[in-house]
Structure 1
Amino acid sequence: MTTPPLLEVRGLDVGFTTPDGRPLHAVRDVSFTLRRGETLAVVGESGSGKSTTALALLRMLPGTGRITGGSVLLDGEDLATATEDRLREVRGARIGMIFQDPMTALNPVLSIGRHLDEVLRAHDDRDRTTAHGTGTAGTGTDGIGADGAATADKAPRPDRSTRFGRAPRPDRPARPGKAARRARALELLRLVGIPDPERRLDDHPHQFSGGQRQRILIAMALAGEPDVLLADEPTTALDATVQDQILTLLGDLTRTTGTALVLITHNMGVVARACERVLVTYGGTVVEDGPTAEVLTRPRHPYTAGLLAAVPRLSAPSGTRLTGIPGTPPDLSLPLAGCAFAARCALAEEHCRTTAPPLVALTDTVRAACLPAAERAEPLPPPARIDRPAPGAVVLAAEGLRKTYRGRGGRTFTALDDVSLTLAAGETLGIVGESGSGKSTLARVLAHAHPSDGGRILLDGEDVTRPGRAELHAVRRRVQMVFQDPYASLNPRMSVGEIVAEPLRAFGTVAPAERADRVAELLSLVGLDPAAADRHPRSFSGGQRQRVGIARALAPEPSVLICDEPVSALDVSVQAQIVGLLTDLQRDLGLALVFIAHDLAVVRQVSHRIAVMHEGRIVETGAADDLCERPRDPYTRALLAAAPEPVPVTAAPVPATAGAVSA
């Protein structure tokens, strides 16, 4: 007998109202099922409806968001029509949520113990209410229908009390005391691998690393012993080794507790590493779903194939060009007459723009919203190589750099310890390492945003370690930075034209009468329409904002461009476009690039040489291919081992359409 699904979503539609009153159809006819202990990935670009779908499952949509159609069945109960009181019982207790950014999800003024205590108190209140009402809290039987009435025909939930690290309790007649909740909090921290939980329980979020903060969010989500765990980009901003630890933890939890996992991500390597099934979304609808191994190795929909082509692979040699998906996702506030992907699809025909394809079964396990056409299937051509001229003379050098910060109580922290490197004109030096290894500190010291405490910095052979005021102005014109966050690095009050023109005014490189023409030239250089100069940053996508940041950095005509995690927050298709743009700019302008990232696959493909940083020191450096294929330092080997690959090692090459075209 087939086990009924734990969660079943049928024809889910979600809508918003824009500030000017237009309807925005964010999620369209999404359907899927989830069984106990199953792991499902939801992938797609930003704006594809991934996070909105997850929030809709819990009816936690922001602003004007609302479910406009369909159903969300949890053990047969429709949460789309449930009362708010019932939803409060479900949230956390039946369906838990892990948010993307732990720094914004955690209250900086509360200790970790206080965070967990609040969650435990909230769920104990719900359990006591259920125990004294129609349900049975000890066994986890809900016994409550959507209208608050008892439901005698509902199958009882399995006893979950031993799944989350504690002994079973027959009932909960009273709320546990503070000591019991503290003991439970310690159990949860041990469960998610926080070392020395007795000492760390009273620490605050800023005292933990990024990976540890993410583990704390997981512990909070597990406090209610949920049947379903929704994880919204839980590893996006994490280093490869920390990402590997979090994925291992989530995998262990699903196996040992039977909790079902919905993992929202744009990282295909994470999908291959952690999930059994994958749901590909685009334009608010599902375009393909099926077993992970089959979807990643034989995609039926052109969008899925495009995403896979854009993913950097650690096995690809240096100088390999990433293939981005041209164009941008559709504006969901406008009506879509045909296939949402038609405008970006190289295989689209006229009827693709007028007829929306249904999501149909192509095999026993795979569905795709694309009409099968095996006669048009063609394999992807091999990745293109970048035509890169040989690097020239050394333009930037660092010798024995040191940087120390002083903390509370007079304690010191050494961020850079005897760091030496060279960078030639036309060369890209990739810098990798975990958070806290000193990568960003090195970038800021090289750009003279922070002074060094020791060592020398040479620019074209001239010592610029301690420049005077006039010299510093000249150094900063020649060494520019592209920052990680395109949202935070652009002034929201200024137009894009004003942002790009600001360095022109500051350095006086262009006469006032010529600035508008130079701004238009710079915007065109980075692939933006010069007519957009009057728009503000909020009108642009993340990838477009990063292009604006690059245009601003290029304005004073630097010889060195330092890119600090420039693609870590971007979708894989946008990431491929930005990496390709930087590579082309380097070739055309002769720029020397310092490319800092935690994604080794991206770093290998874009870099001539790679330097590996650990605890403020460069532990290994060498040619990109040699270092990735023959690492010598144990730390480098650990980083390479932790990097997930998007396709199983035994997989065949990814086909472009695999027997399907857009319709």
Structure 2
Amino acid sequence: MTAQAAQEAEEAQAAQTAQATQTAQTAQDLLQVRDLGVEFTSPEGPALRAVRHVSFDLRRGETLAVVGESGSGKSTTALALTRMLPGTGRITTGSVRLAGQDLATATQQELRAVRGARIGMIFQDPMTALNPVLTVGRHLDEVLRAHGNRDRAARRARTVELLDRVGIPEPHRRADDHPHQFSGGQRQRILIAMALAGEPDILLADEPTTALDATVQDQILTLLADLNRETGTALVLITHNMGVVARACARVLVMYGGTVVEDGPTAEVLARPRHPYTAGLLAAVPRLSAPSGTRLTGIPGSPPDLTLLGDGCAFADRCTFAEAGCRTQTPVLTPLTGGVRAACPPAARRTEPLTAPAAPTLIDRPAPGATVLEAEGLRKTYQGRGVRGRRFTALDGVSLTLAAGETLGIVGESGSGKSTLARVLAHAHPADGGTLRLRRADVTRPSRRELHAVRRQVQMVFQDPYASLNPRMTVGQIVAEPLVAFGIGDREERERRVAGLLRRAGLDPAVADRYPRAFSGGQRQRIGIARALAPEPSVLICDEPVSALDVSVQAQIVGLLTDLQRDLGLALVFIAHDLGVVRQVSHRIAVMHQGRIVESGSADEICEHPREPYTRALLAAAPDPVPLAEHARRSEVPA
């Protein structure tokens, strides 16, 4: 055989091997998404291009995370896979092939056979996803009946089996309970049971742990991992929590402006990001390993208007690495080292990946001043539901102090008494026992006149920026409401104060005439902060103020609160379930369990040298955004 013939034979064999490999790869791909585009039309303006040119594959048993800021197209992409788009949303381009069947062009009858049976969905808010008038058993019974199970006794047995599988105790009895009789974590488990009822090949989980505390989040992620391992069900996890990504997923897909900007193995993408947007997200993530007083780095600017997108990179206006061509040429995903693809031409030319700053930036925080708020032996009980409902103790002898310019972080599981403590401190609920002092004056049981003065000094920032603002009032009216309530200034003075408050909260005073619906979640939280600052309080109580926000907006809000504290000398009570945020924003931390403070101390001492087993369990449950650090820390923290 001549050398040329040998070479041709070798090339033919290589081509045959490559074709066989590609055929095997395609056979393993359960879901193939190609060039997916989704638009929402409006009679009042141009179409909103929510998803553009999205392509990815999903193998059997694979765990894929989809991350990005609010409005990046994560949830829309997931809903488009089974054509459950709300309102005027429609697929405009591309294909969604499930084992060869294109769902983008499937009939409604074909889609009904896929939804639940082949692709299950776990929604974000279990309380709104469950019908409050139906028992949990009825919820599961309806799902099983929709999938063709006509035997009532068999459906009941399967219901109990599913509840037991997702860890609901006493499933025979609890199947007859209603959703409100379960905790948030248990309700999320019920949604998982409903998604598993049809034994699907794929589970789409849309922010399944956002509103859960660290330990319950850890339980849900462990459950999903066990189900993935035992049943081979592929998991698509939509989240803005990078720690959850590191904890639960082997591959990650990063979205911005409705398109994919980076994807690859989780360990590679999170440890060595190639796209500037991915690096910005990671820099904004609070890390439990960072010391108290570390400033979170938010991504400057705001996400793009998806009705105005043209050629060029959507991230160019927020990117410090942008070049002239970035604004005129649309980038495409380019293979890089480590199995990563990034839609960034400058990234393809760089030899080193982008990383977060090695040394944390510490905030210049003045020492706390005189004591402003003191609580001693606070108790609060509530009457249980129903005529025979037992009274339960929400606060059981809580004592604490808070100084001017100091932040006290409050952490603990759901039901530990955190929010009840916030309401008692703000006099939204009266204490049943104990003593509460504000600037040394006893305000435990104030008169109506004294209560008016106390509430001016102690203000709250609430968890949900969508529910805490009156949709029928303009922003100016919302911020001015405390000024009116406390008789501060005349009309002209209030207008001047509102403008100043909006400016201090990082908003343009010109937005005063707009309504809350015109603003994003982060902007609404800024409005809530401006309203709380209006009466010039001494104490600001923040009850989960960033739990519903993505990491970049979260960093902006935390930075705003820190700057306000430094400038105004505010005393902050900061309640959150993200221990990374709490450590970085707090001077001291108090750990609550079953209505009591079981451990307290400096933020760094609590996080690095916890004494109580309960505190150690909370820390062990909190995920780290760096996969290697996550696995190492979880193995090192004592049980």
The TM-score bracket by the shorter chain reads over 0.9
What residue in structure 1 maps to residue 540 of structure 2?
A: 561
Match of 1:336? 310
| 1:349, distance to aligned residue in structure 2 (A) | 1.9
User: How far apart are 1:513 and its partner, in Å?
Assistant: 1.9
Match in the other structure for 1:404: 381
Change over 3 Å in CA distance of 1:302–1:400 after alignment to 2: same
Distance across 2 between alignment mates of 1:289 and 1:337 = 21
Aligned residue number for residue 495 of structure 2: 516
| CA shift digits 1:42-87 (9 cap, x unpaired) | 0000000000000000000000000000000000110000010000
- Aligned-partner Cα distance in 1 for 2:343–2:432: 59
Greater relative contact order structure (CA < 8 Å, 6+ sep): 1
Give the corresponding residue for 2:235.
261
**How far does residue 650 in structure 1 lie from its aligned partner after superposition?**
5.0
In the TM superposition, what whole-angstrom CA distance separates every residue of 1:529-553 from its partner, at most 9, and x where no partner exists? 0111111101010000000000000
Note closer, same or farther for the CA distance 1:180–1:362 as it changes in structure 2 (3 Å cut).
Answer: same
2:398 matches 1:419: yes
Measure how far apart 1:269 and its partner are: 0.2
Match of 1:485 among 464, 473, 476: 464
Are residues 1:609 and 2:633 paired? no
Residue 501 of structure 1 aligns with which residue? 480
Structure 2 equivalent of residue 212 of structure 1: 186
Residue 619 (structure 1) shift: 0.6
Name the SS of the counterpart of 2:282 in structure 1: helix
Mapped to 1, the partners of 2:615 and 2:549 lie a distance apart of 25
Secondary structure at 1:300's aligned position in 2? coil
Q: Partners of 1:272 and 1:375 in 2: how far apart? A: 25
What SS class does the counterpart of residue 594 from structure 1 fall into? strand
The answer to whether the aligner puts 1:105 opposite 2:129 as a matched pair is: yes
In the other structure, the counterpart of 1:537 is 516
Q: Is 1:196 equivalent to 2:220 in the alignment?
A: no
Higher deviation after alignment, 635-644 or 353-362: 353-362
1:321 aligned partner: 295
Aligned AA (1:95): I
The structure 1 residue matched to 2:92, chosen from 48, 53, 68, is 68
Q: Distance in 2 between matches of 1:469 and 1:379?
A: 56
The Cα of 1:375 is off from its aligned counterpart by: 6.2
Unaligned segments of structure 1, at least 5 residues: 125-174, 652-663
Preserved CA contact (<8 Å) 2:366 2:405: yes
How far apart, in 2, do the equivalents of 1:44 and 1:286 lie?
A: 10
Quote the Cα distance in structure 2 between the aligned partners of 1:272 and 1:415: 35
Q: Are 1:454 and 2:433 an aligned pair?
A: yes
Q: Corresponding residue for 2:273?
A: 299
CA deviation digits over 1:155-189, x for unaligned, max 9?
xxxxxxxxxxxxxxxxxxxx442111000011111
Counterpart position of 1:393: 370
Q: Which amino acid aligns with 1:567?
A: V
- CA separation of 1:376/1:177 partners in 2, compared to 1, >3 Å: closer, same or farther? closer
Which of residues 220, 224, 229 in structure 2 aligns to 1:250? 224
Q: Residues 382-412 of structure 1, C-alpha deviation per residue, up to 9 Å, x if partnerless?
A: 2210000000111001010000000221410
Further displaced range: 618-627 or 342-351: 342-351
Give the whole-Å Cα distance in 2 for the aligned partners of 1:108 and 1:379: 47
1:132 aligns to what? none
Deviations 1:261-316 (A, max 9, x none): 00000000000000000000000000000000000001000000000000000000
* Distance across 1 between alignment mates of 2:309 and 2:438: 55
C-alpha displacement at 1:350, in angstroms? 2.3
Deviation by residue 1:571-590 (Cα, 9 ceiling, x = unmatched):
00000000000000000000
Shift in Å, 1:197: 0.3
Distance in structure 1 (CA, Å) of the matches to 2:351 and 2:551: 29
Partner residue, 1:154: none
What does residue 37 of structure 2 align with? 13
Cα distance, 1:525 vs structure 2: 0.2
Distance 2:601 2:43 in 1: 53
SS in 2 for 1:81: coil
Q: Specify the SS of the correspondent of 1:252.
A: helix
Amino acid at match of 2:159: A
Aligned residue number for residue 277 of structure 1: 251
Other structure's SS at 1:22 match: strand
Structure 2 unaligned blocks of 5 or more: 1-20, 631-639
Secondary structure in structure 2 of the residue aligned to 1:6? strand
Higher helix share: 2
- For residues 424 and 281 of structure 1, what CA distance do their matches in structure 2 show? 42
Structure 1 residues 45-54 or 505-514, which shifts more?
505-514
* Matched ranges for 1:543-622 at <5 A: 543-622=522-601
**What secondary structure sits across from 1:236 in the alignment?**
coil
**1:230 Cα deviation after fit:** 0.3
For 2:489, the aligned partner's letter is V
SS in 1 for 2:446: coil
For residues 375 and 295 of structure 1, do their structure 2 counterparts lie closer, same or farther at Cα, with a shift above 3 Å needed? closer
Q: Given the alignment, which residue of 361, 366, 374 partners 2:350?
A: 374
The corresponding residue for 1:636 is: 615
Which residue of 2 is the match for residue 147 of structure 1? none
Alignment partner, residue 50 of structure 1: 74
Take 1:467 and 1:82, find their aligned partners in 2: how far apart are those partners?
66
State the match for 1:648 in structure 2.
627
Letter in 2 for 1:554: L
2: CA distance, partners of 1:19 / 1:556: 42
Partner amino acid, structure 1, of 2:506: G
CA contact (8 A) 2:276 2:354 kept: no
Name which of structure 1's ranges 490-499 and 369-378 shifts more when overlaid on structure 2.
369-378
Find 2:55's aligned residue among 22, 31, 34. Answer: 31
Shift of 1:593: 0.2
Q: Deviations over 1:556-605 (max 9, x none)?
A: 00000000000000000000000000000000000000000011110000
What is the CA deviation profile of residues 205-233 of structure 1, one whole-angstrom value per residue up to 9, with x for unaligned ones? Answer: 00000000000000000000000110000
1:383: which partner in 2?
360
The residue number in structure 1 matching 2:10 is none
Give the Cα–Cα distance (whole angstroms) in 2 for the partners of residues 292 and 620 of structure 1: 35
Kindly tell me: are residues 235 and 378 of structure 1, through their superposed partners in 2, closer, same or farther at Cα, counting changes over 3 Å? closer
Q: Percent identity?
A: 80
User: Which stretch shifts more, 631-640 or 360-369?
Assistant: 360-369
Given the two structures, how large is their TM-score scaled by the length of structure 2? 0.93
Deviations 1:338-390 (A, max 9, x none): 10001111111222112111111113611100012326866543221000000
**Quick one: which amino acid aligns to residue 441 of structure 1?**
T
One-letter identity of the residue aligned with 1:611: A
Deviation, 1:18, is: 2.8
Task: Report how far residue 510 of structure 1 moved.
Answer: 2.4
Matches within 5 A, 1:118-267: 118-124=142-148, 175-267=149-241
> What one-letter code is carried by the residue in structure 1 that aligns with 2:334?
V
Higher mean C-alpha deviation, range 349-358 or range 614-623: 349-358
Question: Residue type matched to 1:632 in 2?
Answer: R
Q: For residue 474 of structure 1, what is the amino acid of its counterpart? A: A
- Whether the aligned pair in 1 keeps the contact of 2:273 and 2:355 (CA below 8 Å) is no
User: Secondary structure at the residue paired with 1:108?
Assistant: coil
> Alignment partner of 1:80: what SS?
coil
RMSD: 1.3
Equivalent residue in structure 2 for 1:360, among 327, 334, 354: 334
Distance 2:291 2:43 in 1: 47
Which of 355-364 and 537-546 deviates more? 355-364
Distance, in Å, in 2 between the alignment partners of 1:278 and 1:577 is 24
